Amino acid sequence: MSNTITSVLVANRGEIARRIFRTAEAMGLNTVAVYSEADAAAPFVQEADRTVCIGPAEAAKSYLDISKIIAAARDQGADAIHPGYGFLSENTELAAACEQAGLKFIGPPASAIAAMGSKSAAKALMEEAGVPLVLGYHGDDQSLEVFQQEADRIGYPLLIKASAGGGGKGMRVVRSSGELKEQVEAAQREAQSSFGDPRLLLERYLETPRHVEVQVLFDQHGKGLYLFDRDCSVQRRHQKIIEEAPAPGIPDEVRRAMGEAAVRCGEAIGYVSAGTVEFLYEPETHEFFFMEMNTRLQVEHPVTEMITGLDLVEWQIRIANGESLPWQQSDLTWQGHAMEARIYAEDPDNGFLPQTGRLHTLREPEQSETVRVDSGVRQGMTITPWYDPMLAKVIAMGETRGQARANLIDALNRYHTDGVVLNTDYVSRVLAHKDFADANLTTRFVEIHEDELSQPRFSSRTRQCLSLVAWLDQNGTFTTPDGRDPWKRLMGFRVGNSHWQPFELDRDGERYHGHYQLMRFEQNQGSVSVRLEDEETTVRWSRLEDGALEVRMGGARIRLDSAGRGDELTVFADAASWPVRVNHPEVAQGDAVSDTELTAPMHGRVTAVLCKPGEKVVAGQALLTMEAMKMEHTLKAGFDGTVEAVHCETGSNVEASQVLITLESPEDS
């Protein structure tokens, strides 16, 4: 085996593959991507020096097939494999297979992975190492009688966990003795199904703890250091949504004790490489308890990199090369605060249901000193149901926690997609919540604040107004090309004209009718009055440097942008987005009581003629319907009178302003 790594194969996909390639290339190493047929056009494949297709979309036949990965490394001349996270990252067989094949595994030895593979065995090791544990039962006897005895000793509420588990599978909260039998049996079934191992453990259930974890680094020479901590309390279904570093509100002496306990944990299992020790932390008593150790790089590692200035992937590679850690613990410091939001293709307002579809539009925030985007996708890419729905991570930094939070909110306001529902709006609601701003964190944050977090930021009326303004901007109403008068773009409409322009809007299966009037237009700013259901709203706008609008209404400032596709518009209002169709007449429809000629408000097709020449009609009576932009419009009589002439028939295609019906008023006759 070569002493120095020259080529790295990444046994993973998506954003983590791209992130590892970035560091490997900066270190002058060659890169190899393995990919499934479903990922053939993915960005990570295109960015590697060499690529190997290792099978169909099904992970078991591609990314989880160790023999194919080892064969790809040999064929492409790679001398090291980085597993990323997920898939095979904590698989002892891959680590052992690398050793047998003469390849370096950029991670811990198989023995260390195995030591933490069983939660029960890991807790026994930690107890010996003097790492604080939650009161519980981690024994081999899995009989219901023993579980009952131990549960009564621990007390209720208690938590059942799958010994081999993760991701919340096999996990149950039991609040009384009468629930235990049913919950144990259910947890055993789920543990067997998910992990092939039905063994369980019991722990005292902490009602409102925080999830605090410590990043550690160990070299091959027995030296271990901790790179401070992260808070990952905000979770849904036991999966993290927002992570931050350092964990806020922890006394220095507790922070130090937690870091030292994490190092003892690594020392107890002969750990090598980057790893994370996870603790449950009780804010009121400042107690912390070992939960588990992740023997791999964590999804949230960028927040630690942001505050320490260290590249964890680089040090994983250096450690795999046999290099020693050059610091003492006292040499390591952190500066500022960093937060990370995971961008998932999921619908939080529909039970966090994973989403699929094509990313017709993808606009990610620009990278800067304070904003980092680790992305695994590109515009035009199709999101399939085969893999984890996490598409990217947005990380923001600030001198203080408040600044980091504000920077992350701003970055999420600039993350836009059309075609796939994302969780960005929901994450922004969490970030904006007062308890989050005040660092009142708990693993039950989402559960406790469920009702508040389920409320969309914008009311239906506000969305209607924003949709109209976005449509006007998308169609060039707010621009003045070649110095032309913007008012002339509205087919004869003039500022100050008392005649309101009508519009129709389709959103979420509902149709809304309204009128608008441009009140002011100057260079890159103006205002629009919108009338909906006899209520008038003034919307002021100004053009931002990047082309989006800053909209002011109801005392709020909203970043507004859009993307058009066919006759549908996707509106981006801060981190929220929604599809909409807007119909805007190219001329004002004649609905005044004196109008004798009813004209087509826009290009379209007549779907029904509801009157005939000579027929007596009354004011408000429907005379004709037409379809335009997949929406139906009704032309009505403005006064009592007689139909003088019908100038079209059902099925006719008509032009904007074309006279369709002529009426005769009683005065004229």
Of residues 1 and 507, more confidence is placed in 507
- The verdict on residue 481 lying in a domain is yes
- The verdict on residue 129 lying in a domain is no
User: H or E segment at 254?
Assistant: helix 252-268
Q: Are residues 95 and 146 in the same domain?
A: no
Q: How far, in Å, CA of 320 to CA of 210, rounded?
A: 33
Question: So what's the pLDDT on residue 584?
Answer: 64
* Dihedral sign computed on CA atoms, order 532, 538, 543, 546: negative
Q: CB burial class (10 A; 0-12, 13-18, 19+) of residue 523?
A: exposed
pLDDT band at 630 (very low <50, low <70, confident <90, very high): low
What integer is the mean pLDDT of 632-652?
89
CATH number at residue 11: 3.40.50.20
- The verdict on residue 368 lying in a domain is yes
Residue indicated by tokens 């990047």: 546
Q: How far, in Å, CA of 289 to CA of 269, rounded?
A: 18
Q: Are 573 and 560 in contact (CB under 8 A)?
A: yes
- 596 has a pLDDT exceeding 50: yes
Q: Are residues 268 and 345 in the same domain?
A: yes
Q: Are residues 51 and 19 in the same domain?
A: yes
Question: What does the pLDDT look like over 141-172, one tens digit per residue?
Answer: 999 999 999 999 999 999 999 988 766 778 89
- The verdict on residue 120 lying in a domain is no
- Whole-angstrom CA distances from 317 to 20, 25, 107, 311, 313 are 10, 12, 9, 10, 6
R_g of the chain, CA atoms, integer Å: 31
Bridge partner residues of 325 (DSSP): none
Sequence-distant (6+) residues with CB within 8 A of 500 are 515, 516, 517, 531, 588
Question: So what's the pLDDT on residue 490?
Answer: 44
Question: So what's the pLDDT on residue 70?
Answer: 98
User: H or E segment at 303?
Assistant: helix 301-308
Out of 219-223, 384-388, 409-413, pick the least confident: 384-388
Residue indicated by tokens 């369709």: 660
Domain count across the chain: 5
Question: So what's the pLDDT on residue 283?
Answer: 93
The answer for 286, left when phi > 0, alpha when psi is -120 to 50, beta otherwise, is left
Both tokens of residue 568? Answer: 């549908």
| CA 300 distance to own-chain centroid | 14
Q: HSE-up of 467 (CA within 13 Å, CB side)?
A: 30
Residue indicated by tokens 């009140």: 519
- 636 has a pLDDT exceeding 90: no
Question: What does the pLDDT look like over 324-358, one tens digit per residue?
Answer: 999 999 999 999 999 999 999 999 988 899 999 99
- Whole-angstrom CA distances from 177 to 139, 190, 243 are 19, 21, 35
User: Where do runs of H (alpha helix) occur along 142-237?
Assistant: 144-154, 180-195
The answer for 629, left when phi > 0, alpha when psi is -120 to 50, beta otherwise, is left
Q: Are residues 628 and 538 in the same domain?
A: no
Q: What is the full DSSP assignment across 387-445? A: S-SEEEEEEEEESSHHHHHHHHHHHHTT-EEESS--SHHHHHHHHHSHHHHTT---TTH
Percent residues over pLDDT 70 in the chain: 93
CATH number at residue 424: 3.30.470.20
Q: How far, in Å, CA of 112 to CA of 425, rounded?
A: 40
- The verdict on residue 399 lying in a domain is yes
Any idea which residues carry the catalytic annotation?
A: 296
Q: Are residues 345 and 448 in the same domain?
A: yes
Q: Are residues 518 and 500 in the same domain?
A: yes
Angle between helices 92-100 and 110-117 (to 10 degrees): 170
DSSP 529: E
Q: Are residues 612 and 531 in the same domain?
A: no
- The verdict on residue 115 lying in a domain is no
Q: Are residues 426 and 535 in the same domain?
A: no
Question: What does the pLDDT look like over 453-485, one tens digit per residue?
Answer: 999 999 999 999 999 999 999 988 887 544 344
Domain range for 196:
135-204
- 668 has a pLDDT exceeding 90: no
Q: Are residues 601 and 532 in the same domain?
A: no
- 503 has a pLDDT exceeding 90: no
- The verdict on residue 476 lying in a domain is yes
The one-letter code for the residue type at 165 is: G
Question: What does the pLDDT look like over 242-293, one tens digit per residue?
Answer: 999 999 999 999 999 999 999 999 999 999 999 999 999 999 899 999 999 9
Question: What does the pLDDT look like over 56-66, one tens digit per residue?
Answer: 999 999 999 99
pLDDT, averaged across the chain: 91
Question: So what's the pLDDT on residue 486?
Answer: 46
CATH number at residue 527: 3.30.700.30
Q: Are residues 470 and 573 in the same domain?
A: yes
Both tokens of residue 431? Answer: 């970030």
Q: How far, in Å, CA of 576 to CA of 424, rounded?
A: 7
How many other CB atoms are found less than 10 A from the CB of residue 331? Answer: 9
Question: What does the pLDDT look like over 574-586, one tens digit per residue?
Answer: 999 999 998 765 4
Which pTM was predicted?
Answer: 0.82
